[in-house]
Amino acid sequence: MSDKPKILVTQKVPDAAYPILESFGIVEANEEEGVIWSYDELLHRAPGHDYLFCLLTDTIDARFLETCAAANPRLKMIANMAVGFNNIDVATATRLGIAVSNTPGVLTDTTADLAFGLLLATARRIPESERFLRAGRFTGWGPLLFCGAEVYGATLGIIGAGRIGQAMARRASGFNMRVLYHNRSRLSAEEEQRYNLTFVSFEELLKESDFISLHCPYTQETHHLIGEREFALMKPEAILINTARGAIIDEKALVRALQTGQIASAGLDVFENEPAIEPELLQMEHVVLAPHIGSASLKTRSLMATTAANNLLAFQKGEVPPNILNPDVLDQQ
């Protein structure tokens, strides 16, 4: 019997990850593209593996971790192929001595591209006008046909000025936008100058922004960060962009705000109860919806996959994984 560690890959991932994993372990993988194992099936398969390569759609909770920690062999490390890790109970993993890693940095520009693309598409009503044309309803140019919002020179409010928020600000500079931001902690004066950012209170950002783009992590504190009170503070012409996490927005409150004209529109790549979408959003022509494709370029997804695999390889070699989230567990090994 091989003494190589056993690795479980929960979903079909880019090919670049597999040679790295196979160089040090025996890989069992979900080979069906687009198929996500249920929680029960994953819990049935995972015990007895040394390593778990998972994604945001996999729920790795306390029950799951305790079951895997009690198995033979026990679970040593989880590599999450995502920058976010709210799908994993990191506190329980740490208590059980299980290392956890993510893949930050590699998806920054790709996600910012998508966020700014949603901003442009929503402001200029591009998907709506394309559907109009494809339906054979275009009979000629008209002075009021699909007039949208001006982007050049408008005010962009960024909530969460980390890597992706800063990348969004860089893109806004090409459109001569005034860029406000709110963050848990204020950036240095040098960073503010570099990205042409102006720090304001949360309420001021909501009141003054023509476009509001969410780039904060999803935590207990940011759950429903944007709800009825916040929509009431926004301009009626405001457009909300979300490429962060769906539950940062109270989606039912968003529906009401759009229905009543409290805000003008929204561009969403993530949803509160994903993959379920509020039915009213699907019926709104002026809302732009994307199926969680923020990091979906071939280059970026391959980099995410190899980064996750290399985190596991580093652990196996006795090194500190570059993106470990709970380094204290290394003292327990």
* 100: Cα separation from own chain's centroid: 18
For residues 293 and 109, give the distance between their C-alpha atoms in angstroms, rounded to a whole number. 13
44 is catalytic: no
For residues 159 and 216, give the distance between their C-alpha atoms in angstroms, rounded to a whole number. 6
Total Cβ atoms within 10 A of residue 331: 7
- Closest among 42, 28, 40, 35 to 12, alpha carbons compared: 35
Torsion-angle region of residue 34: left (phi > 0), alpha (psi -120 to 50) or beta? left
292 is catalytic: yes
Q: Which of 66, 274, 278, 280 is catalytic?
A: 274
For residues 156 and 173, give the distance between their C-alpha atoms in angstroms, rounded to a whole number. 10
Q: Which of 125, 171, 182, 245 is catalytic?
A: 245
Asked if 236 contacts 261 with a C-beta cutoff of 8 angstroms, the reply is yes
215 is catalytic: no
For residues 319 and 48, give the distance between their C-alpha atoms in angstroms, rounded to a whole number. 23
Q: What amino acid positions are annotated as catalytic residues?
A: 245, 274, 292
